[in-house]
Amino acid sequence: MHIKALLSAALLLALAILPAHAGEELIQLPTRPGVTEPFYLLTPPGPPVASVILFTGGNGLLGSAHRPVLNGKNFLIRSRGAFAAAGFLVASVDAPSDHPDGLEGFRSSAEHAQDIAAVIAYLRQKAPVPVWLIGTSMGTISAANAAARLKTGGSDGLVLTSSIVAANRRTAPIEATVDVGAITVPTLFVHNKEDACPLCPFEAVPRLMAGFTHAPKKQLIAVSGGSPPESAPCEALARHGYFGIEDEVVGDIVRWIKGA
């Protein structure tokens, strides 16, 4: 389907739900044949200075297919109001309709990047401002994959928070499944030095960064501390999810994007 036709169809399918934030909408965007990409759109109080696409961790599900409430514990999802308050048009992406059980095995695919290309085009139609991809934890694979694959119609920048930099039996580090050397946009890495998730050891982040050989600008923002964890080390309410220091981390990301 041609992108203009996709956007026209998307506008017809856009619907307001019982929002978690005032003015937040659930958009069902046609992407591939017979497939829709749902995302929650949050509009800033004034003219947008940039747009951001947020990729949650875990299985990538936000609940749009079953109930009008976002699963809000994830760092980026629970912080989306702060991004909007900073002047960003915010799209929180859910799993596409052909992956109702989640994004396992799909995050590094060409089809996933194609879905995100349609979201980028939609946001550019809404506001003529730069579009940035921001992923956290498993969402860093999705964000990096889209940045690497989309040579036209891609994003203007990339932010990876709590990056997947180690492996277990089910998960590989970002650079094992994504051609990070193909990424040609400014890239910010954010990581908690005290992240205790075995998939995200802080000491492995420089190795990941070294693979971004064609990023015109890259930087690591290392943070530390937070509130006492209220979840397992790889979950949202721990150092891995910047629990208790969300405002500091969002502020760092906002300043970097605006400065880039």
- At 125-179, the pLDDT tens digits run 999 999 999 999 999 999 999 999 999 999 999 999 999 999 998 899 999 999 9
- Joined together, the tokens standing for residue 110 give 């060409």
Give residue 22's pLDDT: 64
- At 40-81, the pLDDT tens digits run 999 999 999 999 999 999 999 997 665 545 656 899 999 999
Give residue 111's pLDDT: 98
Enumerate domains of the chain plus CATH numbers. 3-259 (3.40.50.1820)
Average pLDDT value for the chain: 91
Give residue 199's pLDDT: 97
**pLDDT classification of 23: cutoffs 50, 70, 90:** confident
Percentage, residues of the chain above pLDDT 90: 84
Q: Higher pLDDT residue, 146 or 13? A: 146
**pLDDT classification of 10: cutoffs 50, 70, 90:** very low
Give residue 14's pLDDT: 39
- At 106-116, the pLDDT tens digits run 999 999 999 99
Encoded amino acid at 224, one letter = S
Encoded amino acid at 160, one letter = L
The yes-or-no verdict on residue 19 having pLDDT over 50 is no
Q: Higher pLDDT residue, 230 or 16? A: 230
The yes-or-no verdict on residue 17 having pLDDT over 90 is no
CA-CA distances (angstroms) from residue 34 to 21, 25, 38?
30, 22, 13
The yes-or-no verdict on residue 2 having pLDDT over 70 is no
Q: What is the pTM of this model?
A: 0.91
Give residue 41's pLDDT: 96
Percentage, residues of the chain above pLDDT 70: 88
The mean pLDDT of 191-206, rounded to a whole number, is: 98
The yes-or-no verdict on residue 21 having pLDDT over 90 is no
Give residue 15's pLDDT: 33
Give residue 169's pLDDT: 86
